[in-house]
Amino acid sequence: MPLGTSRAQARFDIVVPTTGRAALAGLLEQLVDTGAGRMIVADDRRDGPPLRVPAGVEVLRSGGRGPAAARNVGWRAASAPWVMFLDDDVRPAPGWSTALARDLTGRPARMGASQGRVSVPLPPDRRPTDWERNVASLETAPWITADLAVRRGALLAVGGFDERFPRAYREDSDFALRLQAAGWSLERGTRAVEHPVGPAGPWVSVRKQAGNADDALMRALHGRDWRARAGAPRGALPTHVATTALGLGAAGAALLRRRRTAAAAGAGWIALTARFAARRIAPGPRTPREGLTMVATSALIPPAATAHRLAGAVRARRLTRGAAPAPRPAHRPDAVFLDRDGTLVVDVPYNRDPARVEPVAGARAAIDRLRAAGVPLAVVSNQSGIARGLLTPDEVDAVNARVEALLGPLGPWLVCPHGPDDGCDCRKPRPGLVLEAAATLGVDPRRCAVIGDIGADVEAARAAGARGVLVPTAVTRPDEVDAAPELATTLGEAVDLLLGTA
């Protein structure tokens, strides 16, 4: 079905993790004309023949380490300001890309993610089966990654997805909670995808109990109230544990020939199992096959859930004790390079008067935090007024000295005196000033960050391989905001983002 190509300003790459399901080919064909910058398929099979994909689609291997690892492989290879994650079996609705652009363009600087709306088609001529109802719960699940656009800066800030979650379960809730804890907001968009019910055998509900192990990890990482904060239903684990205990008690008492105890525990096990089976049978198609499946699996689910939860608790304890560290935010920069006008001080065009220098709100406190953290500083500033004859180098130096008098030492000053048409390598958005600042401080530019107020600042950072953070002002164009890899509303917030304290 045609999706329509968006001409909106928000730029995005698409990442599709896959295990090679047949639906992948149809999805990729739909995505060809969406306007995505890059389309990346993260192949999470351990082996197998190369995937057949349309021209222009990149395929990266993630080695069968699970969907969290596959998404990480994909977004780390992406470069657009937004990364659009799609499951390999969804079907975007007509107009999906236009709605996506609308969902992403002009969003608040701290909006970290946008979730699409998921619909699950169910049979129109009968009641859904237990498995179909399970899949249909995706329609109301918060922050699932079936259709989730994430700002690249937010991914950098929290380190992406936690690869300690080995299956497609709870890794999305964990990611959402970490985003929110880091100060990012999550919103629902208007775009829509359809998530068909895939084939499943009669024992699928028993296999799905492995997710109880991930619930144990969620509790270890996020505390007892994680379900309420993640919008996850409470589940039936307490009843499953009670059912399992009664069943084991009945068996143990029988072995010890304690008939009354065995009978009482057995009656309790039968009652709880029958109630569980009845609750699953009642809303379904009530066919003989479905009924038999529900009875058999209702007896197996409680012990499976209990065993997975116990094993998960042991694993979670080991993982959270340091055997496998949590994903860390992007590294603290080895140096921070700051634009002057509009970033450190209020922009006064072609200012030659030190008396007119006025620091932006909170600038001194923000710079002091960088100094306290031991982060070297430098200033990288375009001063085309020199080339235009509106300023002299001495006047620029006098203004710079006043900036340091008000804000304290800022490290080396790297100034481009050229005009836009001079063809120099130092004028931002070219990387010359950033590279020179890094060389002066003896640091790798790829481990540095640039803070500025216009697109040229973050483009210079990108060209030098550095991290760029945009702090928009009244003069920042909307397209520059949409294209920024990371956004902050104030200089102080940008510093918190770089130091990992946001």
Q: Looking at the structure, do residues 212 and 319 belong to the same domain, yes or no? A: yes
Q: What is the mean pLDDT of the chain?
A: 91
Is 101 found in the same domain as 115?
Answer: yes
CATH number at residue 363: 3.40.50.1000
Three-state DSSP class for residue 260: helix
* Phi/psi at 85 (5° precision): -95, 130
Binning pLDDT at 50, 70 and 90, where does residue 37 land? confident
Side-by-side strand order, sheet with 82-86: 57-61, 39-43, 12-18, 82-86, 147-151, 111-119, 185-194, 91-92
Res 377: pLDDT: 96
The answer to the question of residue 3 being in a domain is no
The DSSP bridge pattern shows strands 448-452 and 335-338 to be parallel
What six digits make up the tokens of 175?
């990611």
What is the per-residue pLDDT for 484?
85
Cα 271 to Cα 322: distance, rounded to the nearest angstrom: 43
| Domain endpoint, select from 180, 200, 220 | 200
193 and 208 part of one domain = no
Task: Give φ, ψ of 314 to 5 degrees.
Answer: -65, -45
Please report the pLDDT score of residue 323 as a whole number: 44
Look at residue 358 in the predicted model and tell me its pLDDT.
Answer: 97
The whole-number pLDDT of residue 502 equals 56
Q: b/e per residue, 338-371, with b = 16+ CB within 10 A?
A: bbbbbbbbbbeeebeebeebebbeebbebbebbe
DSSP code for 196: P
Mean pLDDT of 126-144: 94
User: Per-residue confidence at 85, pLDDT binned at 50, 70, 90?
Assistant: very high
- Alpha helix locations (H) across 256-362? 259-281, 288-318
- pLDDT value of position 324: 43
Same domain, yes or no, for 48 and 194?
A: yes
Q: Give yes or no: residues 19 and 97 share one domain.
A: yes
Q: What is the pLDDT of residues 456-499, one digit of tens each?
A: 999 999 899 899 999 999 999 988 888 888 889 999 999 988 98
Rounded to 5 degrees, what angle do the CA atoms 66, 70, 71 make?
Answer: 120
Share of the chain above pLDDT 90, in %: 79
CB 329 within 8 Å of CB 455: no
Q: Is residue 2 part of a domain?
A: no
Question: Is 1 part of a structural domain of the chain?
Answer: no
pLDDT at 67 over 80: yes
In a domain, 6, yes or no: no
Q: Given its phi and psi angles, is residue 395 left (phi above 0), alpha (psi -120 to 50 degrees) or beta? A: alpha
Question: Cβ distance 379 to 340 under 8 Å?
Answer: yes
Q: Residue 486: what pLDDT?
A: 87
| Res 7 pLDDT > 80 | no
The residue segments making up the domain with residue 235 are 201-327
Which of 35 and 144 is assigned the larger pLDDT?
144
**Distance between CA atoms of residues 204 and 211, nearest Å:** 12
Q: How confident is the model at residue 118 (pLDDT cuts 50, 70, 90)?
A: very high
CATH number at residue 176: 3.90.550.10
Q: Are residues 433 and 461 in the same domain?
A: yes
Rounded to whole angstroms, the Cα distance separating 17 from 44 reads: 7
Q: What is the tally of structural domains in the chain? A: 3
**Rounded Cα–Cα distance for residues 340 and 345 (Å):** 6
Q: Report the pLDDT value the prediction gives residue 330, as an integer from 0 to 100.
A: 52
Query: pLDDT per residue over 388-404, tens digit each?
Result: 999 999 999 999 999 99
CA distance 363 to 492: 7
Model confidence at 110, in pLDDT bands (50, 70, 90)? confident
267-318 residue pLDDT tens = 999 999 999 999 999 998 999 999 999 999 999 999 999 999 999 999 999 8
Q: Which domain-ending residue is among 156, 171, 200?
A: 200
* pLDDT confidence bin for 331, thresholds 50/70/90: low
Eight-state DSSP code of residue 124: T
Tell me how far apart the alpha carbons of residues 95 and 101 are, in angstroms, rounded to a whole number. Answer: 10
Same domain, 188 and 208: no
- Domain termination site, one of 290, 310, 327: 327
> Of 161, 147, 182, 203, which Cα lies nearest the Cα of 31?
147
**Residue 397 is assigned to a structural domain of this protein:** yes
Residue 325 confidence (pLDDT):
45
Residue 129 sits in the same domain as residue 260: no
Answer yes or no: is 37 within a domain. yes
- The fraction of the chain above a pLDDT of 70, given in percent, is 96
Same domain, 56 and 160: yes
Give pLDDT tens digits for 202-252.
999 999 999 999 999 999 999 999 999 999 998 899 999 999 999 999 999
The reply to whether 382 falls in a domain is yes
Mean pLDDT on 63-83: 90
Residues 143 and 260 in one domain: no
| Mean pLDDT of all residues in 30-51 | 89
Q: Is 5 domain-assigned?
A: no
Three-class secondary structure of residue 7 per DSSP? coil
Find all residues with CB under 8 Å of 30, minimum gap 6, and list them.
1, 3, 91, 92
Q: Would you say residue 32 has pLDDT above 90?
A: no
Residues with catalytic function: 339, 341
The terminus-to-terminus CA distance of the chain in angstroms comes to 42
The verdict on 165 and 222 lying in the same domain is: no
* Residues β-bridged to residue 42: 17, 60
Task: Please determine, for residue 44, whether its predicted confidence score (pLDDT) is greater than 90.
Answer: yes
Rg for the chain (alpha carbons), in Å?
28
Between 211-222 and 171-181, two packed helices, what is the crossing angle to 10 degrees? 10
Same domain flag for 364 and 244? no
